[in-house]
Structure 1
Amino acid sequence: MLRKKGHSAKPANFAITAAALQDHILRDLQIRNPSRAPPPSKTKVPKTEARAKSPQRNRKPGVDTGPKKPTRGPGLEDAEKEYVLDPHPPPLTLAQKLGLFDPPPRPLSSAEWERVKQRSVLQGDSLQPCPICKEEFELRPQVLLSCSHVFHRACLQAFEKFTNKKTCPLCRKNQYQTRVIHDGARLFRTQCATRIQASWRGHVVRTWYRDLRRRVPPTDAKLRRKFFEEKALHRETRECSICLTPLSLSVRGGDDGHPAHPSRETVLLSCSHVFHHTCLLALEEFSVGDSPLHACPLCRSCYQKKRLGC
């Protein structure tokens, strides 16, 4: 009898172990039995249609309490709040209770999550693209795994659905824990603000430089001469400031075809003022002093002159 009892208990233990292993493998691979899913009910559609056709049925009278206060949406702090997606570990399987497999790790504490996040920051995972889709994180939801790797939340969910198991795509760690973080979004906002500031500062500096080039003459001789010529042309001086007659560069003919008022040669000074050449020579001869340098009649600065021709 004892032999028979021992012989019957041994196959029973094997059967329990086999059933426990099978249940654990099914749960580990996350295989769901489609036959357990409840069939879709066909009676819901006519019920909703009947309710839609008679909206006045079963309506209770209400009391008007005035305009309702608008509900405030989630603030920036709530939108950037970090939280754990799976705060409670999955229940133990029969194989784990029997000691055939190790139980799932306990949930990480706040201090442990902080150390995991610091490790991820030191690795610069949020600065790099998502390892699954190879795109920047930008403002899309981001998750941190307990193995310190960072992914898009949608990419990780698609990877889990495709592989049909919960394994890190990089280090192949099983039964990891996930936490929603917003480091990539903060870095993306900082980069956008930096680009906007750089564009605005570049615009300000370019505007200041163009204004500076319009006001301050360059040190190079050729550029300086060109600068004052352009400045004199933009000034649109029409008469000589010495003789108060027009600065004509063309010859006006009379009624008989002969020139009545021949054009007079003009001269451009380095201070951008224009005079008749003969008037400027007369002023230089009339000026008192032994200095070879002469002063402009208008701005009183020493000048160099250039003839503009007839």
Structure 2
Amino acid sequence: MTDSKGKVSVWAAALQDHYFHRDAGVPKSVAKQREKWDRENKRRQQLLNVRLPKINAPKKAASIPIMLEPDVVLDKVSLAQKMGILESPPKRLNPSEWSEIKERAKKSHAMYSNGVECAICCEPFAAQSQVVLSCGHSFHRNCIHAYERHTRSKRCPLCRTHNYETLVTSDAKLAYYNDAATTIQSVWRMWRCRRVYLQYRRDQVPKHPLLRKQFHLDKLHKLNQTLDLQMRRDKRDMDALFKEMDLSIKMNQDAFDKFTKWYPEEDDWDDVLDQLYKRNANPLDESCSICLSILSENRCQDGVKNARQQRKIALLSCGHVLHDLCISSFEKYSGVAKPVCPICRCQYRRSLFPA
């Protein structure tokens, strides 16, 4: 009784495995994980095969080999078919028959043309994984798996062939790489040929009179362009130099103006004092127009200056006299770059009133 139960369990598992793979195909997540493991294994194998080059080895032309996967048949006999529970599939195609199918596809340009697209996703095969069906049609491997998973049947999307066999091949990838290499080589050769031709035209003088005339005109035009470019650069450098000189002159002029504002010539102050004494014989007896206090109230009777009580007196170039501290505060809080006299409203220069 136990043996019969064990056989039934094995048969049930074999049937489940057969119908799962026949109807649902390979799940997307499992397929992605399997591809990830395959890529990781290939990467590790390539790392293990790396060898350091010899230092004294002769230089050779660098060539990068194209790593192509071998052809693999995906359809395999399930466990249920091996045990005889289900009917075994018809005889599988052998390598020679697969070669004939690939040759037939090659003649119809189904796999080797760059413009041919996958009939499911309508995109070129390029370097993606590709499969060839036993009916001779080719698709992307991911596309045909998705088609089988959603339709739950194995029918060719084009000819509706039932229970086809699938072969993973790299012929389209090889053709894609060959086309890409041919395009790169043709572009490089075209560029190199054009460069050699232009250099030949620059070096060789033509024999025909018209061509010789045009040759010398081109030479003269090129020299003119070079000269014009050099002149533009020199002009730009000269403009920058003159701009720097103007800025330096302006800064020096501002410094000189500030110096002459606060430190004018002595002859000018003598004239200001003469005009002040002509207007008032005792100008220090007047009051400051800002603080309204007497200018000479801090002076001692005997004329000796008291250092603690002495308040400095400023003489303006316009002829007015104020406390130096008052006029300094006035300039500080006026908020104007060039303040004016609080009495006559004209610009001034100031100095200390002579003792």
Larger Rg: 2
**Greater helix content:** 2
TM-score (norm 2): 0.41
TM-score (norm 1): 0.47
